[in-house]
Structure 1
Amino acid sequence: MSYYFKEVRAFISTNISLRKPQRLAHKRLKESFLEGKDTHKIIVLPTGAGKTGVIGLAPFEISDGKVLVITPSLVIREGISDDFDTRTQYNFWTKRNVILNDENLPSVYRYAGYNTSGDKKRVMRYLNNAHIVVANIHKVYNKNSKKALTDILDKDFFDMIIIDEAHHSAADSWLKTLEHFSAKKIVKLTATPFRSDEKELDGDIVYEYSMADAINNKYIKNVVSEDYTNEELKFILDGEEVDKETALDIMDKNWVSRSVAYSKGCSKTIVDMSLKTLREKRTNGNAHHQIIAVACSIEHAKQIMELYEEVGLSAAYVTSDRPEESEKAIIEFKKGQIDVLVNVNMLGEGFDHPNISIAAIFRPFRTLPPYAQFIGRALRRIQEENTIDDIDNVAHVIYHKELDLDELWSYYTGQKEKADRKKGILREYDEIISEKNFDVGRVKVEGGVVKNTKEFLSDGIGNQYKVALNKVIKDRDEELKSTAKKMKESGVSEEDIKDFIHQQRRKLENEIDEKANKLREELIREELHEIHKEDIANQVEYLFEKTKVDSKGDELPSKSNNPIYSSAKTNDAYVMMYINFNLKQKLKRGIDEWETYDFEEARKLLPGVIEKLNKKLNER
């Protein structure tokens, strides 16, 4: 058994090259496994917030052996494999300063099957030498093949299994995989912690980073929903024109939304409106914005493509049954040569292209996961220096109102309410502490277009230490590059240059360890304080959501006889005073005097304090 992930020195907890949610997700994951519960661990991160990085961090300090990363598709497998390709300096661990010595990078193998017995021997050698194996589910379990990993590997081959896009994991192939392998460390990552049937995933959510927080922290684009309808819609039933209300009475809501989806006139409305938005963004912003569209079927996708071409845009459609043409179209789209890419159940996950800023919906969605995954394609931020955030980093979701998508959009507005409450709570904390039926009808479109827009979201000493650590890394790296260049110009061999770089990286590793040990206690305390603050904010936000009490109301302070509590102007200010006072009483000192073990004790005490507040709010 290999103990690589516990023996190698990985720079994680105070590494500001990593995003905060990546560091916290790793910490929560490590804590949850130390607790000894034999449950699946779920991490929820929105698309674009750094999920691949969390996968790359997850095994370190936790896994006692090999790790299997399972993806639902080839597109996602290729994306993760590229980020984990240790043959280049652009791999995740080097780029984010997680592994400072290239000699200590993990061995990663992308499993794609084999053809001959000779191939199998080579593949088995790669598998046995790998620390991490990345494969899509069809290469892990396949009842029609004897070359899947479940057929060629022993049950105990892996110590940890990481499942990406885990909302797929209730499918039979995933369940059979987990039945075969005896790994006890199962980690699931997803942006939507629900299965396609809307049931919750099996396991415990150990860390959740909301879409609202990702937008506020500028990890992903902001997002605006724009639904359009026509002033007058007529549905054709048995040769007669009827209005929407009559159509709903005679047929049903699903029939109406499908009919609108297949209506050329309604589709033309969405094409025109998405074109208008595209021109606005390209004219007034500083990025080459593009449109991704989703259609009901292949024939429908062709129709949508033709509608875009009629208004002067270059367009293509992609489907899984035409892989070569689709691959070519995707490459051209990523190069900016195509304005619009129309897809049919192909690009819902793992397709990352920051210039997608408009998600045009031409089909009804009945469940949240595919809807959220499709919108996620437009959320990756454009990082160029000259971008105008309020134009270039706003995604537009454009659809016909009669597609009946408002309930799914409420998922995002719900996120906004959570974000607003949480921001208020954190402010108070800081102040106190310092389709299977395809029957459709014809739709007649008349009159002008009606638009409706819904918006999503209208440090101290420890941080200095983290900056200092990362400055050492950056300065030394620049110095290494400069020296290597001079050595090459002087005729030094590539092998000698490589040896020199390895020696210097080992030296750098020791310097970082020395500096980190010196600052360790303050760094840990700073990180623990951040986690404590986030934990309180999340639990208090959920408390107000559960009790339906307005965090900015004044019921609690107005009814309090305590002069300190009654001085609070709002309910969230009262709650933060109450938590701060109770923890101070229990721990016998204020947070400024806490040691590292006090933060752990506070974590255990907090649920009890929250429960008392819950009773107060219910008794109001």
Structure 2
Amino acid sequence: MKLTDLGQDYELWKTDFHSVKDETRRFLEHLTDKKKETKLWKHQLDAVLRVVYSYEVLGKNNLLLNIVTGGGKTAIIGACVAWLKMCQKLDKFLILVPNLIVKDRLQRDFLVVSGEKSVFQKFDFFPQEFKHLENELNAHVMEEGASPQGIIESGIILGNIHQVYESNTSGKRNLDFFLNKTGDFAIFNDEAHNTPAMEYTKVLKMLTHKTVFRLDTTATPERADGKPLDSEMIMEYGIAPALDDGIIKSVVVYQPDAKIVELTYTNKITGEKKKVTELDKEFKEAEANVKPFQWIMDSEPMKKQISIALKRFDEQKRRAKDRYKPILFMVTMGIEEGKRVRDVLNKDFNLGRDKVLLVTEDTAEEQVGWKPDGEPLTAREAATNLGKLGTPFEIVISVMMLREGWDVPPVSVILLLRKFCSQVYGQQVIGRGLRKIREGDERQILAVVDHPKLQHDWLWRKVGASGVRTVDTEDVLGDEDIPVTPKIQRLVRPENLIEIPAPEYETKIDFDAILKKVPKKEISKNWKQILDSVKYDRDKWIISKTKIESIRKLIVDKKRRMEILSGEDIDVKAEEQKREFSKEELEELLKEQIVEMASNLLLEYGFGGLKKGELYNVIIDHIKLKLFNGKTISEVKKEEIEMVLDNLEEIRKNFTQPIVEGILGGKKNANK
């Protein structure tokens, strides 16, 4: 997305704040007062000044700030609300958020609670003679089933975007109040990259004639559907300057250098089983059938990834020195995988549910404990309080839930047990750990445990991972692994950039690479033909034993250096006998997982959820054609359902964004 250069005129304007209202000059003089006890960071102040200049001097009222996660967007929003209230005489402010987690966070900042300060009080935004205006910025939270009367009575209205959707009763009523029962207002669209959903965009357009000012904020301006945001970006404060300013943590990526030494073969239909090792003649042929995701989903290598993450977690605990409580954040592909990881942590690593929190769409409102006042504590509520001394949970497992807006600075280690296809989602997940635990000059790192087979190199370039050195698996690192001055590689002369092709090590045809060369429009148009040509393996090879020879510690700086040290392998427990499911249970499990797959695909690719049924039916028909030989779920054998469950990740991989766009009739019709 293109950045608008405000140029030298803006730099000159900052010297005396000319061409603005007297009240605005008074506000800015107070905001920039060096004697203020609590000051904004340099980039936060610059963001507010750019907003004021663009509105009052240039006459622009639809603006976008691209601020890195951990860069303090909430304080910027608060300062802009105070300016609009004091200087533009605006009395109503609508703050829209994409999900409940973001709403919970902003509610703590804007809703005045006894004994706690609002964002306006913390930063002392109003000069003394305008302090009374703080009392007019009471907040109302839009919630399902709640009375909309607070929209009229309150200065700040905070809510999930779904609370103004016409597709639900509460939303329709709230929208009517904004359109017909209030005066003009300002909109703050937090996490603005979520706007591709058609109803989201429709609501913003419906409110346009009542909106005198709109400010979008995001850390990832790329929308999941590939379209640019419709607001004008006037500031970009990314990872590079944030690292230079010491605002966020440095990212250090750990990847195992592992090889397979044993594979187990199972044919679900015939019941045939066998094991092959690296000494057997057929081993190489068998190894070629292993899919990348098996390195994080098959039991033995998955346990080793968990073990590596727990070692990094122990290191971060030692660094904390009881000043705060580090959190290990694990990300899985689906709910069943999340439950499986939770069970492995319990059985193999003696980490029970008193330490491990699973947060999914299904479990978010489940009770996981009790509050100090004796009220039940839900998983979502527990997630917002993670990292506080005295709280029980230290590991959280997330399935498409804790993304933007979930800000828990003590997240010190992230374990990736999934592959990212969406650049937006990948950056969001890493962003959960970027915020510094303690402000100041203290060096801090975010340790991310990844697997090279997932091919996330693009992501580490995006987030500016600080470097890669391979370390002994038993080595306990001190502070020497924290870069003193993180360096980000910057492209100075793009005209000299050349693409170096990756080396080819095998002669297998890479259909994924070929498909990437096909124009997206052609894929969307011919989606059914492409899906019908897909072939799935009915034989199942499981990675039953691996050997970790070393762990690479990725440090990406100007030299992009990498050191590799030898290390000892990690012993893991053998896989226990799995519970046997009845055919009826397997049918329900398959349907549930396909519903979840459809929901996650729509979310990850930037579509709304209204077309979930249509996508679900296409996936079911695809499975019926390619794996059930034309039979329905009720007609096939139990073993055939098990075979499909084993292939779900491979099925999901074939439903790429262009394919889904084609199924739903293109982006424009995706939510109609």
Structure 1 residues 333, 202: closer, same or farther in 2, change over 3 A? same
* 1:104 partnered with 2:126: no
Please list, as runs of the form range in 1=range in 2, the aligned pairs for 1:23-422 lying within 5 A after superposition: 23-34=45-56, 36=58, 40-62=62-84, 63=88, 65=90, 66-87=92-113, 88-101=115-128, 102-105=131-134, 106-113=136-143, 115=145, 120=147, 123-124=148-149, 126-148=150-172, 149-154=174-179, 157-181=183-207, 182=209, 183-232=211-260, 256-286=291-321, 287-309=324-346, 310-313=348-351, 314-322=355-363, 323-325=365-367, 326-327=379-380, 329-330=382-383, 333-335=386-388, 336-383=391-438, 389-390=442-443, 393-413=444-464, 419=488
Q: Provide the secondary structure at the position in 2 that maps to 1:451.
A: strand
Q: Give the Å deviation of 1:163.
A: 0.6
Q: CA deviation digits over 1:38-97, x for unaligned, max 9?
A: 573110111111011111112344455322110011221121121112455521111112
Asked whether the equivalents of residues 260 and 543 of structure 2 are also in contact (C-alpha less than 8 Å), the reply is no
Asked whether the equivalents of residues 466 and 557 of structure 2 are also in contact (C-alpha less than 8 Å), the reply is no
Q: CA deviation digits over 1:501-537, x for unaligned, max 9?
A: xxxxxxxxxxxxxxxxxxxxxxxxxxxxxxxxxxxxx
Q: Provide the secondary structure at the position in 2 that maps to 1:350.
A: coil
Q: Work out the CA distance in 2 between the residues paired with 1:19 and 1:263.
A: 46
Asked whether the equivalents of residues 230 and 445 of structure 1 are also in contact (C-alpha less than 8 Å), the reply is no
Q: Work out the CA distance in 1 between the residues paired with 2:384 and 2:159.
A: 22
Q: Provide the secondary structure at the position in 1 that maps to 2:302.
A: helix
Equivalent AA in structure 1 for residue 547 of structure 2: G
Asked whether the equivalents of residues 253 and 448 of structure 2 are also in contact (C-alpha less than 8 Å), the reply is yes
Q: Work out the CA distance in 2 between the residues paired with 1:312 and 1:91.
A: 41
Asked whether the equivalents of residues 293 and 340 of structure 1 are also in contact (C-alpha less than 8 Å), the reply is yes
Asked whether the equivalents of residues 113 and 147 of structure 1 are also in contact (C-alpha less than 8 Å), the reply is no
* 1:445 partnered with 2:464: no
Q: Larger deviation: 89-98 or 448-457?
A: 448-457
Q: Give the Å deviation of 1:443.
A: 2.9
Q: Give the Å deviation of 1:229.
A: 4.0
Q: Provide the secondary structure at the position in 1 that maps to 2:413.
A: strand
Q: Provide the secondary structure at the position in 1 that maps to 2:292.
A: helix
Q: CA deviation digits over 1:170-205, x for unaligned, max 9?
A: 212221211211215221111111111344322221
Asked whether the equivalents of residues 140 and 154 of structure 2 are also in contact (C-alpha less than 8 Å), the reply is no
Q: CA deviation digits over 1:320-342, x for unaligned, max 9?
A: 21213323653674444122111
Aligned residue pair count = 430
Cα RMSD for the two superposed structures: 3.7
Q: Provide the secondary structure at the position in 2 that maps to 1:189.
A: strand
Q: Give the Å deviation of 1:114.
A: 6.5
Structure 1 residues 446, 107: closer, same or farther in 2, change over 3 A? same
Asked whether the equivalents of residues 264 and 542 of structure 2 are also in contact (C-alpha less than 8 Å), the reply is yes
Equivalent AA in structure 2 for residue 191 of structure 1: A
Q: Please give the TM-score of this superposition, normalised by the length of structure 1.
A: 0.62
Q: Provide the secondary structure at the position in 2 that maps to 1:257.
A: coil
Structure 2: segments with no counterpart, 5+ residues = 1-20, 268-273, 368-378, 468-485, 493-530, 559-672
Q: Give the Å deviation of 1:418.
A: 8.2
Q: Work out the CA distance in 1 between the residues paired with 2:284 and 2:50.
A: 51
Q: Work out the CA distance in 2 between the residues paired with 1:231 and 1:273.
A: 16
Asked whether the equivalents of residues 332 and 417 of structure 2 are also in contact (C-alpha less than 8 Å), the reply is yes
Q: Give the Å deviation of 1:411.
A: 0.8
Q: CA deviation digits over 1:525-581, x for unaligned, max 9?
A: xxxxxxxxxxxxxxxxxxxxxxxxxxxxxxxxxxxxxxxxxxxxxxxxxxxxxxxxx
Identity over aligned pairs, percent: 22
Q: Work out the CA distance in 2 between the residues paired with 1:49 and 1:211.
A: 9
Structure 1 residues 441, 320: closer, same or farther in 2, change over 3 A? farther
Tell me what 2:31 maps to. Answer: 12
Q: Provide the secondary structure at the position in 1 that maps to 2:43.
A: helix
Q: Give the Å deviation of 1:397.
A: 1.0
Q: Larger deviation: 218-227 or 449-458?
A: 449-458
Q: Provide the secondary structure at the position in 1 that maps to 2:125.
A: coil
Structure 1 residues 302, 147: closer, same or farther in 2, change over 3 A? closer
